[in-house]
Amino acid sequence: MSADGYCEPKSTEISRFWRRLITNILYFGTIVVCVFFFLLPLLWMFLNALKTPLQIVELPPRIFNFTPTMENFENVFNSQNFLQYIYNSLIIAGGSSLLGLILGLPAAFSIAQYRQKKLAVFILISRMVPGITFLLPLFIMFRFFRMVDTYTSLILSHLLVGLPFIVWVMVPFFESIPKDLIDAARVDGCNIFSTFIRIILPISMPGVVTGGILSFIFSWNNFMFSIVLASNRTKTVPVAIFNFIAYAQIDWGGLMAAAVTITLPVLVITILTQKYVIRGLTAGAVKG
């Protein structure tokens, strides 16, 4: 029965039921298909990392009916010294993210507090410009100062990716903070620096965590700057993948094992911090 006392026909209720059922089936079916196509390459990569070279190229391919082997992972960590490359990537990605937060958080707060739209647009443009545009000038500058193949040069170059992202993640977050809170801190005797450190940052931690994590992931996956500015001493994991590619052949097993090694830390970080990332990305959506 409807709100005005009119009884709806039974056929109408049945049609609504079928519409809702079909809508739910299409909705969840779309999710399943998207998740399948997203996870399929990861599953295929993991399975091939556990196969021998002959099993990898075998047709038709074996999905689960094979005996797993750890030889590829042993080759990655013993023969290719991948632990050193992981250490290099951790130093560079961590240093770049930390320096990006130190520089980006005050910049984002200044843009939000003083409405510096021109500075915000300039930072956005620097992010939109292809990174290869900066590559040659950076290489010439770092070679002049003898900084090629150093952690410092790679950390500074990765800031071109992480710093603008941190600023643009934090600007709407800082804009959502009530002005009355800042004014109350100023009345209590806090200067702008003390207000930022003692008041703004503690309530902005979800955004700070989000910017730091995503900046770390972007730096971890960065390939272009590392292949030019790094050498054997500071080579990162994306560049170290080339160790498994030779002129005459490709070590598919070692390549897949190395790819799993590179992807696993990022997946673990994403799974453990997903709620903070979602909270940080959505916190600035509502002002007041």
pLDDT digits (tens, 9 = 90+) for 100-146: 999 999 999 988 888 887 877 887 787 788 878 888 899 999 999 99
- Distance CA(68)–CA(204), nearest Å, equals 46
Tell me the C-alpha distance between 277 and 206, whole Å. Answer: 7
* In contact, 27 and 45? CB cutoff 8 Å: no
- Which pLDDT score is estimated for 175? 84
CA-CA-CA-CA dihedral for 272, 264, 266, 250, to nearest 10: -170
Distance separating alpha carbons of residues 17 and 23, to the nearest angstrom: 10
Q: Which of 110, 117, 226, 207 is nearest to 165 (CA)?
A: 207
pLDDT digits (tens, 9 = 90+) for 36-60: 888 888 888 888 888 888 888 888 8
Short-list 243, 254, 256, 267, CA closest to 47: 256
Per-residue model confidence (pLDDT) at position 4: 52
Residue 88 has pLDDT above 90, yes or no: yes
Which of 24-33, 193-202, 277-286 has the least mean pLDDT?
277-286
Tell me the C-alpha to C-alpha distance, in Å, between residue 14 and each of 1, 5, 7, 180, 217.
14, 19, 14, 54, 50
Question: Is the pLDDT confidence value at 11 over 70?
Answer: no
Distance CA 54, CA 48 (A): 11
Is the distance from CB of 210 to CB of 280 less than 8 angstroms?
yes
Q: Average pLDDT over the chain, rounded to whole?
A: 83
Whole-angstrom distance, CA of residue 143 vs CA of residue 228:
11
Cα–Cα distance between 273 and 268 in angstroms, integer? 8
Q: How buried is residue 157: exposed, middle or buried, by Cβ count under 10 Å (0-12/13-18/19+)? A: buried
All structural domains of the chain with their residue ranges: 10-49, 71-283
* Mean pLDDT, rounded, for 46-75: 84
Return the pLDDT at 10: 57
- What pLDDT, in 10s, does the model give residues 226-264? 888 888 889 999 888 888 887 777 888 888 888 888 888
Q: % helix / strand / coil in the chain, to the nearest 5?
A: 75, 0, 25
pLDDT value for 157: 92
Q: Is the pLDDT of residue 208 over 50?
A: yes
Is residue 123 classed as helix, strand or coil in its secondary structure? helix
Q: For the domain 71-283, what is the CATH code?
A: 1.10.3720.10
Cα 37 from chain centroid? 20
What lies within 8 Å, CB to CB, of 47 at 6+ separation is 63, 64
Q: C-alpha distances in angstroms, 82 versus 154, 228, 239, 252, 259?
A: 18, 19, 11, 16, 11
30, containing H or E segment: helix 10-49
Q: What is the per-residue pLDDT for 194?
A: 86
